[in-house]
Amino acid sequence: MGQAGDGRQAVELAHGLGPDVVVTDVALPTMPADEAARQIKAILPQIRIVALSMFEEPGVAQRMRDAGAEIYLPKTGPSDDLLAAIRGQE
């Protein structure tokens, strides 16, 4: 388990730790979250990426899915939705 402070660190940690799931905010410093997701999936395509956001901007969810995120959830949503997404039961 690890916690990254920015997009570049998220890519490095995913490569080093090889987690089953990456939960990421879509607003990351140093590297956009969609680019971080793309790089993580290129290294470890089996990783499940769950994207979280406070924003409901059109296109953001689709950009994250196009980059490899399996699901995009609002941070204000029920915690059960997040747990289901992490377990792959969404």
Tell me, what CATH number does 11's domain have? Answer: 3.40.50.2300
Cβ atoms < 10 Å from Cβ of 88: 12
pTM summary value: 0.89
Confidence tier at 58 by pLDDT (50, 70, 90): confident
- 13-49 tens-digit pLDDT: 999 999 999 999 999 888 999 999 999 999 999 999 9
Q: Which of 63, 41, 38 is nearest to 53 (CA)?
A: 63
> How many domains, in total, are found in the chain?
1
Domain of residue 44 covers: 7-87
